[in-house]
Amino acid sequence: MLDTLARTSRVAFVGNPNCGKTALFNALTGSRQKVANYPGVTVERKEGQFVTPAGRQVTAIDLPGTYSLRGRSPDEVVTRDAVLGRLDDFDRPDFLVCVADATNLRLILRLVLELRSAGLPMILALNMSDIADHRGIRIDAEGLSRELSIPVVRSVAVSPGGAAALLEQLDLALARRPAGQAASWSERGAAEIRDAHHAADAMVARFVGTPAVSRDISARIDDVLLHPVLGILILLSVLFLVFQAVYSWAGPPMDMISAGFDSLNALARQTLPDGMLASLLTDGIITGVGSVLVFLPQIVILFFFIILLEDIGYMARAAFLMDRVVGGVGLHGRSFIPLLSSFACAIPGIMATRVIENRRQRLATIMVAPLMTCSARIPVYTLLIGAFIPRRTVAGLIDLQGLVLFSLYLTGIVSAFAVAFIFRTFVWRGKTEPFIMELPGYKLPMLRSVAMGVFQRALMFIRRAGTLILSMMILIWFLSTFPAAPEGATDAAINHSFAGIIGHALEPLLAPIGFNWQIAVALIPGMAAREVAVGALATVYAVGGAALSDASLGATIAAEWPLATALSLLAWYVFAPQCAPTLAVVRRETNSWRWPVLMFVYMMALAYGASFVVYRAAIYLGG
């Protein structure tokens, strides 16, 4: 009996997108949150704990924002099914807190009317009521409460104590031990949506005093930020700033992480006796995980900006400005930022596609994200361009090496658009999705919320590096290490390993595109991450096991490879899916092996085709 009384109440927070629901959730739960996925879908499941003033334990659930219970996207399906108690492994909430943007009540009132058929007791929280006050919007909360027969309270998520009234009402309501009733919800047709709108309008007319519509501050900011010329210039400047930050701010911590892993490696080598265990720990785990974790600073900085811009309300504007640019190939305006993030690393880019509601557009964005030139390709490009492309200027002022690098980037972008277009045309046969999106009012960012968001992303990335990526690294290490070189062998040990065997076996297949066996062997450990191939090439060429420096590796391959081979390898690296962690993340984000397998196959095919054409053309032209 005591148990049932002390039972934790489950309170779900629902509301329109951009109503400040997550801010309110964060204010109540603080750091006592758990972020996971709902079973079977990659929709974030955010739960947190808090205690009410009367001492009641509450589990708060932050459900994805929605305008209705129709479930048009995976996120919205989760909200609907959670509220209706249809989710597996998820207990139906006892209570709903419907969070409203007090400056715009119309849409939430319609949702409240629809939520009533879910059969759960609820409270309406008029959030951001400070902003509403400031704008002279007067809400008769008591009148609304009588009309809706539910408690209506004011809340200000961003100020301390701003949820006091909500907590008080929650205590009162929970004390009555609310019992949910069976849901009587059914999908609304257009006529019912209209009726609900008119009912909501009538309520707004009765209980909300709105001053005559004025061009509020957001509209005035938009005059600049959505200006056809100025807006684009500002967007480009913002992107430039973000990129500068990702590359320059991330430099020192990245160096520290790699130095840290290097010294960890050295320490492990010193303390452990030479042997399999030491090799597994150093070459396999430490090097492998280190080569992925080194991207953590870039990911943290990138997500800091993404979440900050989203919080301010700028992301929707960026999507507006870029919609026509990416919309032509079937992507969504919101695809733009994930694609851009992929220039740093495809992994955060793919993780950032969660902002795209539509499944098809999200999948298309995920599928083309790795075609964007990520920073792990730079060591490979630098090595090859430095060794093979002469340092001279074309047409008097363009640096030839820079020109080659630029064209590699451009090829990646153009092919990403082409692949997205092919996806839309052939895989989804031209089914398009409407682009309708609220442009939320600008808000000052809540640094606490931003920090928590960044922290959660970083944790997600580290968890992945620690599980799926780690096991792939161990597999690649295993392939590169076993079987060991026979006694007295003078060449590199990797030659005798499975990677060597596979590389040698692949050689005839790769000969038409100009790859020698050294390259073929280096590509196997290079699956761990693109830049690992540079180290692997050094290992293969370092006869007797002595490590070569990058500069001498450049000299070695410049002497040994024809130009056509180098160009072919450059083309290969534009397209080839030489990154097991990316494939692992795609598996996680799509919840199926189908997409990573399709990605692997199509990128391999593109890589082989491109290398073949480049190699043959270069030979024909006398390379």
Partner 1 sequence: MPTLPDTPPTLVKLGQGRRGLRGVVREVGSAAPGVPRTAFDLELEKRLLEIGLVEGAQVEILHEGFIGRDPIAVRVDSMCVALRRREANAVLVDCAAAVPMTLAAE
Residues sharing a CB contact under 8 Å with residue 527, sequence separation 6 or more, in sequence order:
472, 476, 578, 579, 580
d(CA 321, CA 325): 8
Residues sharing a CB contact under 8 Å with residue 22, sequence separation 6 or more, in sequence order:
46, 62, 449
Among 231, 330, 349, 596, binds partner 1 (CB under 8 A): 231
Strand, helix or coil at 125? Answer: strand
Contact between 321 and partner 1 per CB under 8 A: yes
Residue pair 377/95 in contact (Cβ under 8 Å)? The answer is no
Residues 117-156 as x/- pattern, contact with partner 1 by CB under 8 A: ----------------------------------------
Quick one: which of 181, 182, 192, 199 has its CA closest to 70?
192
Q: Which stretch binds partner 1 (CB under 8 A): 227-235, 279-287, 377-385, 557-565?
A: 227-235
Nearer residue to partner 1 within complex by CB, 437 or 558: 437
- For the chain, how big is the Rg over CA atoms in Å? 28
Nearer residue to partner 1 within complex by CB, 356 or 470: 356
- b/e map of 158-173 (b: 16 or more CB within 10 Å)? beeebbebbbebbeeb
Site residues for partner 1, 12-71, by CB under 8 A, read 67-68, 70
Instruction: Tell me how far, at minimum, the Cβ of 244 lies from partner 1, in Å.
Output: 24
CA separation, residue 150 to residues 98, 167, 269, 580 (Å) = 10, 15, 67, 52
Contact between 232 and partner 1 per CB under 8 A: yes
Contact between 312 and partner 1 per CB under 8 A: no
Query: What distance lies between CA 583 and its chain's CA centroid?
Result: 14
Contact between 186 and partner 1 per CB under 8 A: no
Q: Could you tell me which residues are beta bridge partners of residue 209?
A: 138
Tokens representing residue 172 in the block: 């009162």
Residues 440-469 as x/- pattern, contact with partner 1 by CB under 8 A: xx----------------------------
Strand, helix or coil at 140? Answer: coil
Nearer residue to partner 1 within complex by CB, 70 or 354: 70
Contact between 434 and partner 1 per CB under 8 A: yes
Contact between 212 and partner 1 per CB under 8 A: yes
Among 22, 26, 73, 103, binds partner 1 (CB under 8 A): 103
Residue pair 471/478 in contact (Cβ under 8 Å)? The answer is no
Nearer residue to partner 1 within complex by CB, 78 or 319: 319
Among 8, 159, 181, 214, binds partner 1 (CB under 8 A): 214
Q: H-helix or E-strand containing 173?
A: helix 164-175
Among 164, 199, 221, 226, binds partner 1 (CB under 8 A): 226
d(CA 547, CA 592): 40
d(CA 137, CA 37): 38
d(CA 71, CA 43): 13
Contact between 413 and partner 1 per CB under 8 A: no
- b/e map of 331-354 (b: 16 or more CB within 10 Å)? bbbbbbbbbbbbbbbbbbbbbbbb
Tokens representing residue 214 in the block: 């004025």
Among 37, 49, 210, 382, binds partner 1 (CB under 8 A): 210
Strand, helix or coil at 399? Answer: strand
Nearer residue to partner 1 within complex by CB, 197 or 616: 197
Nearer residue to partner 1 within complex by CB, 104 or 401: 104
Residue pair 306/338 in contact (Cβ under 8 Å)? The answer is no
Round to the nearest angstrom and report the end-to-end CA distance of the chain: 85
d(CA 151, CA 123): 5
Instruction: Tell me how far, at minimum, the Cβ of 206 lies from partner 1, in Å.
Output: 16
Residue 285 DSSP one-character state: I
Q: Which stretch binds partner 1 (CB under 8 A): 117-125, 194-202, 281-289, 561-569?
A: 194-202
Among 128, 294, 319, 446, binds partner 1 (CB under 8 A): 319
Among 35, 41, 193, 257, binds partner 1 (CB under 8 A): 193
Among 228, 275, 390, 544, binds partner 1 (CB under 8 A): 228
DSSP strand pairing (44-51 vs 33-37): antiparallel
d(CA 235, CA 618): 39
Among 44, 71, 85, 106, binds partner 1 (CB under 8 A): 106
Contact between 428 and partner 1 per CB under 8 A: no
Residue pair 164/153 in contact (Cβ under 8 Å)? The answer is no
Nearer residue to partner 1 within complex by CB, 2 or 436: 436
Among 222, 283, 311, 531, binds partner 1 (CB under 8 A): 222
Instruction: Tell me how far, at minimum, the Cβ of 439 lies from partner 1, in Å.
Output: 4
Nearer residue to partner 1 within complex by CB, 208 or 499: 208
Number of residues that bind partner 1 (CB under 8 A): 50
Contact between 238 and partner 1 per CB under 8 A: no
CA separation, residue 182 to residues 76, 188, 369 (Å) = 20, 18, 44
Among 2, 229, 395, 559, binds partner 1 (CB under 8 A): 229
Site residues for partner 1, 325-344, by CB under 8 A, read 325, 327, 333
Q: Which stretch binds partner 1 (CB under 8 A): 51-59, 193-201, 271-279, 456-464?
A: 193-201
Nearer residue to partner 1 within complex by CB, 409 or 435: 435
Instruction: Tell me how far, at minimum, the Cβ of 108 lies from partner 1, in Å.
Output: 11
Residue ranges that bind partner 1, judged by CB under 8 A? 67-68, 70, 72, 103-104, 106-107, 110, 188-190, 193-194, 197-198, 201, 210, 212-215, 218-219, 222-223, 226-229, 231-232, 316, 319-321, 323-325, 327, 333, 432, 434-441
